[in-house]
Chains A and B, each alone.
Chain A
Amino acid sequence: MTKDIYIVGIETSCDETAASVVRNGNEIISNVVASQIISQKRFGGVVPEIASRHHVEQITLVIEEALISAGLKPKELDAVAVTEGPGLVGALLIGVNAAKAFAFANGLPIIGVHHIAGHIYANELMQPMAFPLLALIVSGGHTELVLMEEHGSFKLIGETRDDAAGEAYDKVARVLGLPYPGGPQIDRLAAESDGVVDFPRAWLESDSYDFSFSGLKSSVINYKHNLEQRGEKVNPHHVAAGFQVSVVEVLTTKAVKAAREYGVKQVIAAGGVAANSGLRASLEEAFGKEEIPFYVPPIALCTDNAAMIAAAGSAMYVDGVRGTLAMNGKPGMPLDSWK
C-alpha cells in the first residue's frame, strides 16, 4: 500500500479567501471559503484594495480551519499548494506569502498553481480525467477553451478578446439594475422568462475558437436606450433571456466544434459561470447528442475555492514540480504546461 498524500491548497486570487486539504489529489478532506460578497456588494464589484484588506484579516483563520476540520497537524501534510496567478496582484500575494511562511515554518515544499489549472482539476475531485480532454472555463475573469492531452499539459485553443463571460453578465445585470453579482440574477430571470429579445451572436472568424462579449453588451445597452427614448418599458426577463441565450449558444457551439476537431474523450466545464443553469443544460444536451462524456462540478467547486488548487497541486506534486521561497504573485501568469 502506498502512503496517502495530503496537500493543503490556498487561494486568494480574487475575493474569496480559501483553504482546503485534499487527499491523493481526488478526495476533499476539508474545504473552507470565506467570501467577501457582502462587503463587495456595496461597491457593485470587486475593489482590489478592499479584497486585499479582507484577505489579510482572514488568511490564518481560514488555513487553521481547513487543518482543524481535516484533523491534521501541519507536519502531517506533504506540501503547500497556492494560487500563483493569474488574478489581482495585491490579493494573490497575500496567499503566496502566507503559503511561503507556512511552508517554511513547517519544512514543507511549496507549489505554485495556475488558477485555471485549478478550475480544470476541480473535476478530478469528481471523476478521473480522461485525455484528450476539452475544458471550457467560464468565470468573472475568464472565458477559455483549453485542450489537455495529458496531465500537466494545457493548450489554449480559444479565449475572450474583450470581456470575460462573467464580466458581461455583471455588466448587463448593472444595466438592468440588478444587484451584484449579476450572473445568478440573470440566470434566474432568464429561466422565468416567457419571451426572448433577439440579440446578435459574436461568432468571429469561422475558424476561430475565440470569444467576444463586448458587442453583445453594447447591443443590450442600445436596446434599452432605444426603448426608453420611445418611452417604452424594458422587460428585464426578456432581456436577460435574450442575453443568456446568445452567450450560451456561442459557448456551446464553439465547445462542440472544438470537441469534434480534437476528438476528445471528455469535456468539462469549470469556473463560476459554469454554475449557470442555462449554460449547464445547453452543454449537457449538446454533448449528450455528441455522445461525449460531459461533466460540471457542483457549484461549490465551480466558484473559486482552494480544493481545486490542492487538486492541481497534488498532480504537480506527484509530477515533481516544486516552487521556491522566491515565488511571487503573477497577475498575468500564462497557462503553460507545468511539465
Chain B
Amino acid sequence: MIWLGIDTANTPLSVAIVKDGVLMMEENTALAVNHSLSAMPAIENLLNKVGMTPADIDRIAVSEGPGSYTGVRIGVTIAKTLAWTLEKPLVGISSLKVLASNVLFFDGIICPLVDARRGNVYAAGYQFDKSGLVSVFEDGHYSLDELIARLTEQEKPVLFVGKDTALHEQALLEQLGHRATFAPLQFNLPRASSLIHAAEHSAREAEVHTFVPEYRRMAEAETNWLKAQGKEPGRG
C-alpha cells in the first residue's frame, strides 16, 4: 500500500510517500508561499527520489482545510485530479487534525491553531485515546476570545500546536495560565506523514468529483448577500 500525502493548506508545504506503514520520504518547508508553482514539482521530485511512478500510488491523502482559501484549493485540486485520473481512492483530512496528529500522546486538550487575521483563528479541540484523536470541539473559524472560552470550559491542560501559536502565545498564557503549553518547533509544521497516518485511520473515503475544501467560512460576498436578504449567515 503506497500513500501520497499533500498538505498546502497554509504557508507551509508538506508532501510525503508512505509505503506499507513506513515513511519513505517527506518534504517539509515553511517557506513555500507559492504552492501553485511548487506543489507539483515537489510531488514529482518525491516520486523520482523514491523511484516510483504516479501509477504506483495506491491512495491519496490531502489536507482539506481550513486554512488559506487559495492554499487549500491548490492541494485539493491536485489531489482530486490525481485520484480521478489514476482511479485511486482519496481521503481528505482536516488540516487542523493534521497538526494535532503531530502531538498524539498529550494527556489533555490538543488545540491546533492557524492564524486567520483580525483577532481570529482557525482552531479545533482534540483529545487522544486508544482509538486515536477524538473531537472535543469542531474545526472552526473562531475569534480568539471564543476559543479561549471553549478551552476554559474544559478545565484540562491544553497543548497548542502550529507555528502561528507564537502570535497568540501571550494572550493565551494570560487567559489560561499554567494550563497552557506550547508544542516545540519540530511539531509546529503540518507533516504529510501525520496526514497519511490520520488518513489510514479514517473510514471516510471521498467521492472524488464532488470533493471540495472545508473552508469553514463562507465567502464574504455570500455572507453579505445573505445579510442583504435578511437571512442569518451560517458557518459555510
Contacts and interface: CB of A to CB of B under 8 A. Distances in A.
Interface stretch (A20-28, A96-104, A125-133, A212-220): A96-104
B164 to A, nearest CB: 22
Contact of B209 (A60, A94, A325, A326): A60
B81 A98 contact: yes
Interface in A52-78: 52-53, 56-57, 59-61, 63-64, 74
Contact of A56 (B208, B212, B222): B212
A106 B81 CA distance: 11
Interface in A80-112: 90, 93-94, 96-98, 100-102, 104-106
Contact of A93 (B36, B209, B213): B36
A88 B134 CA distance: 39
Interface in B64-117: 69-70, 73-74, 76-78, 80-82, 84-86
A52 B73 contact: yes
Contact of B208 (A52, A60, A74): A60
A272 interface: no
B82 A101 contact: yes
A90 B73 contact: yes
Given A53-B219, A101-B77, A61 B209 contact: yes
Interface string B33-76: 01011111101100000000011000000000000011001101
Given A56-B73, A64-B84, A97-B74, 12 more contacts: A49-B221, A50-B219, A57-B212, A59-B77, A63-B84, A101-B82, A104-B44, A105-B55, A325-B40, A326-B38, A326-B40, A328-B34
19 contacts: A49-B219, A56-B77, A59-B81, A60-B208, A64-B84, A90-B69, A93-B70, A93-B74, A94-B77, A98-B78, A101-B40, A101-B77, A104-B40, A104-B82, A105-B55, A325-B44, A326-B37, A328-B34, A328-B37
Interface of B: 34, 36-41, 43-44, 54-55, 69-70, 73-74, 76-78, 80-82, 84-86, 208-210, 212-213, 215, 219-222, 225
